[in-house]
Every structure is written in structure tokens, then in C-alpha cells.
Amino acid sequence: MHDQRKVRQEVDEKTREKRLAEVQAFTSAYGSLLRKRDDHVYSEAVLQQLSELLQKNPEAYSMYNYRRIALLHLWGKMREEKVGPADATENTTQVGGDTATGGLPSSQSDETKRHAPRGEIEWLKDELKLSSTILISDYKVYAAFMHRRWIFAQLERLAKDALYAITATDTAGAAVQSGSDRVEHPEELRFWSSALTKEKKQCDMLLAADERNFHAWNYRRWILSEIARMEKLLAQYSIDLNASASKNTAEEQVPAMKQQQQEEEEEQQKLKPQSCGGSGGNDGEPCGSFFIPEELKEMRFTTTMLRRNFSNYSAWHQRGVIINTALQRLQERSDDNVTRDVALKEAWGQLEEDLEFFITAVYCDPADQSAWYYIQFLIRAANTLESISPAHHAVRLEFTTRPIQACIEILGEEKRLGDEAEAYWPRYYLFTVLLASFGAGKSNSDGKNKARAAVMAFASEIRKVLCPNDSPGDSREIEEDCVWCLRELAAELVRADPLRSGMYKSLLARVTS
């Protein structure tokens, strides 16, 4: 872990010689593959060598690139080999007049269509297995995650090609059956869909093992976006793969599986927003829901991860992404007043809930920076929501005052325990908010002026907690307390973080000089 000192391990001579031999063998294999890459050697034998090398050292980034180039080259050769014989057969058939259309016999054409993309899919399945093996041995290999992105990009290409081919055939006048007799969806499309769904579940398993694995968080976020794009594509062509799959397997399901599926459907129904009914909206339309069902799932997922460990920047970030997306959607909505009011009420409620979440996090671990970054986003989100629909003054002001009160309490506890300026982030937060308020001056916005006044009103409390022995003067001005607090906080920050002393002094000089 990041906060643990690495301990050097002593090894005996025999072990050292063995490791040295392994390093030399790896270096030799690596150099050989680099030379083959320069010579444009793209063969299945090279792929096998690359597979063995990457399992020994998954961080060999150049070898992933070489592997992808080799695969693309092999696939290109496969297509050329299949196109050549097909053209020859077509010419022979046209001369002989064996078919009515002058093309391939229908059975041979169907066989070609069925097996043409299979080669690439099988290759990609092997790539998924290889990268899975690597991630099982070390689930923080960034290159392996990037390689899986490339794999899914190829799966998407194959799925779209197969889908467009069927669409083009239907448009050209081929007989299209309807209902239960309709031709099954292409295998490429079904595999792409099922692989994405499985990938999301595997990401959840990785985060269950290590909730702070930011590589898995970033990859999972990408997978969710890919699933959304896939669902949009399927909706465009009115394709329901779930209905097709459930129809094919309904008779084979045991009662326990059917019950589990029914429970999952009921859970999905609970997540769906309630319809407006008689409130002026259309039946079945979401009524005032701030989050869509998928976002609700993600919020619950991030809540679970954060409750396990508040020191999880990736979970806070994912939470912010969801709220920001919902806010953007709320700004673009043009619902009736009732629907919009309900959505705005839910939005303010969510921000207040996250404010309490932040307070709990900083009380548990004031030294962890992730929650302090999140409060910056939360304040901006409250400002955005305020611009859409002003909230009650007391509600909006809490996003300014509650973090300051938490900082004062944390510093007060530190003073009582006799610790030596260990709470860096509360000091830095107070320093920045006082700087922003003291140097801002009066604004045309009444809300900003009230927030500024609320911050500066804490100056005397901050001064008291920083210097408990300081006797308050009756004639002391708020501005005087602010300047004193800024200078004291800057001095303590310089002692705690001397590498950034120039930054603190420069910021202080801007408002005090």
C-alpha cells in the first residue's frame, strides 16, 4: 500500500542466481521480439511468444502494441484469403449458370457468412482469457485494462458489421419474418452484449477485493458508458436481446432460477421512477426523478464502497460524475412545474445527504484528502442547483457553514489532545475559504454576499481555536480577525508543508498587502 514502507528482503545465493537467470531469459526474449517487430513478423508463433512474455511481465507495454498489430495483420490476411476463393467461385457460377442470381449457391453463401467473422471472435475470446489471466495475477496492470478496451472495440466493430449486413439485406428486399419466426440476432451482437454485461460484474468483483483500485474504477466507468452506447444502438434497431434470451431459456430454467429472475425484475421496478398519474404528466413517464434507475444503482454502489473505506477518491469521483450528469439533465428538462419541483426537491435532498456524508468522512479521517476534494465539487453543485431554482436560504448556507464548523471542531479536538498541527486539510480548507471571502469584496448577488458574510463571521471562532489563550477584544473588527487567521493559518501550513511555502505566502500577500 502507499502508506507502508517497503522492506528489503534478503535472499540466498542460490535464489539470487535463479532470479538472475530468469531476468536474462526474459531480456533475451524481449529483445528477440523487438527485432521481430522491427522486421514486421506477424505470425501465430509470435502471438504465442508474446503471450508467454506478457504473463511473465504484464507491464511490457510495447508487447501489447505489437500483439494488436499482429492480430490486425492476421485478420487482414484471413479476409483476403476468404475473398479470393469467393470471387473465383462466383465467376465460375456465373459462367455455369447454376444459380438464379448469378452468385454463390445459397448454402455456400450462408456457410461463408456464418464462419467469416467466427475467426476474429475466437481470437478475441483468447485475448480476453489472456488479459484475465494477467489481471488475476495482478489486478492493477493498467496495460491489461487498456488491452481489454481494444478487445471490446473490435467486438463492437464485428457486432455492428453483422447488424448492418442484416439490415442491408432486409432493406434490399429479403424476406423478413416477424414474431417468433424471426431470424436470430447475429452471434457477434449477442456476444458483444453478454461480454459487456459480464465485464461490469467482473469489475464489481475486482472492487470487492480492493475498493480503492482506481484502474478498475476507471475501466468500470468506461464499461458503463459502452453498455449505454450498446443499449442505444439496440434501441435504434428495436432489438431486445434479453427478451430473445429469456424466450430461448424459459423452458430450461429451474424454479429457483425463475424466482431469482423475478426478484431481480421486482428490484428493477422499485428503482424506476413513479409515474405522474393525475399530476398532469403522461402515464408511465418519470415524475420528478432526479436520477435514472442506472444512476440510482451507481449511487448505492458508491455508498457501499465509501462505507467500507472513506479514503476512496475513485468512489467520491464516481459519485460526483453521477450527480453532475443528473444536474445537466435537470437543466435541459422542460417538464411541467409539478414534475420539475419534485425533481428539484430530490436534487437538494441528495446534495444535503452528501453533505452529511462528507461531514462523517472528515470526522473519521481528517487527514484523508479525497473527501476534502469532494466538498469542493459539492459546493459547486449547490451553486449550479441554486442557479436553476433557489433553495431556502438556510439550506443553501449549510454548504458554506457546515464544513467550516467541522474544521473548527477538528482543530479544537487537536488542540485539546496536544497534537502538533497534524490536521493539514482542515487548516488548508479554512485558509482557502477565508482567502476567497476576504478578497472577494461585495457582489451584485445577494446570495454571494450572504455566504461571504457567513464565512467572515466565523473569523473570531477560528481565531479562538487557533489561539485558545488569546483574549477577545470588544472593539476588534471582523476584518482584523480574518487577517490574523489568514496569517496564522499560512504560518502553520508553511510548517506542515514547507515545499509549498512560497504558494502560501504568495496567496497571503494578495489579500494582506
Which pLDDT belongs to residue 469?
A: 78
Q: How far apart are CA 248 and CA 250, in angstroms?
A: 6
Quick one: cell of 351? 446534495
Looking at every residue in the chain, the average pLDDT score rounds to 82
Q: Which residue has the higher pLDDT, 208 or 264?
A: 208
Q: Does 148 have pLDDT greater than 50?
A: yes
% pLDDT > 90, the chain: 57
**Residues 296, 399 within the same domain:** no
Instruction: Please check whether residues 374 and 462 belong to one and the same domain.
Output: no
Lowest mean pLDDT among 41-45, 276-280, 402-406, 498-502: 276-280
CB 407 within 8 A of CB 367: no
Give percent above pLDDT 70 in the chain.
75
| 314 and 326 within one domain | yes
In a domain, 97, yes or no: no
Judge whether 5 lies within some domain.
no
User: Mean pLDDT, to the nearest integer, of 15-41?
Assistant: 95
User: Same structural domain for residues 385 and 396?
Assistant: no
Q: At 390, list the grid cell.
A: 433557489
**385 shares a domain with 442:** no
Are 352 and 407 found together in one domain? no
Are 25 and 126 part of one and the same domain? yes
Considering the domain architecture, whether residues 60 and 156 belong to the same structural domain is answered as yes
Listed in sequence order, the residues at least 6 apart from 458 whose beta carbon sits closer than 8 Å to its beta carbon are 401, 404, 405, 408
Final residue of a structural domain among 389, 421, 438: 389
- Better pLDDT: 2 or 30: 30
* CA 206 – CA 140 distance, rounded (Å): 10
Burial of 265 (0-12, 13-18, 19+ CB in 10 A): exposed
Question: If we measure between CA atoms, which residue out of 386, 361, 393 comes closest to residue 375?
Answer: 361
pLDDT at 452: 78
In a domain, 466, yes or no: yes
Domain-embedded: residue 86:
no
**224-258 burial by CB neighbour count: b if 16+ within 10 A, else e?**
bebbeebeebbeeeebebeeeeeeeeeeeeeeeee
Report if residue 176 sits inside a domain.
Answer: no
**Do residue 409 and residue 457 come from a single domain?**
yes
210 and 352 in a single domain? The answer is: no
Residue 115: how many other CB atoms lie within 10 Å: 10
Q: Give the whole-angstrom CA distance, residue 292 versus residue 273.
A: 8
Look at residue 226 and tell me if it is in a domain. Answer: yes
Q: At residue 413, what are phi and psi to the nearest 5 degrees?
A: -65, -40
The C-alpha atoms of residue 457 and residue 450 are separated, in whole angstroms, by 10
The strand pairing partners of 286, in sequence order, are 275
User: Is residue 351 located within the same domain as residue 444?
Assistant: no
Contact 343, 388 (CB under 8 A): no
Cell representation of residue 394: 438556510
Its pTM surpasses 0.85: no
For residue 267, being part of any structural domain is answered with no
The number of domains in the chain is: 3
Q: Rounded to whole angstroms, how far apart are CA atoms 54 and 52?
A: 6
Question: Among 133, 132, 161, which residue's Cα sits nearest to residue 219?
Answer: 132
Q: Which domain holds residue 414?
A: 392-512
pLDDT band at 84 (very low <50, low <70, confident <90, very high): low
Q: Which of 389, 420, 451 is the last residue of a domain?
A: 389
Q: Any idea which of 163-167, 194-198, 422-426, 450-454 has the lowest mean pLDDT?
A: 450-454
* Final residue belonging to a domain, choices 331, 359, 389: 389
Predicted confidence at residue 115, as pLDDT, reads: 45
Q: Are residues 313 and 454 in the same domain?
A: no
CA dihedral 352→356→362→363, nearest 10 degrees, is 150
Question: Is residue 346 within 8 Å of 290, Cβ to Cβ?
Answer: yes
d(CA 370, CA 107): 62
On whether residue 131 sits in a domain, the answer given is: yes
The DSSP letter of residue 252 is G
Quote the DSSP letter at residue 217. H
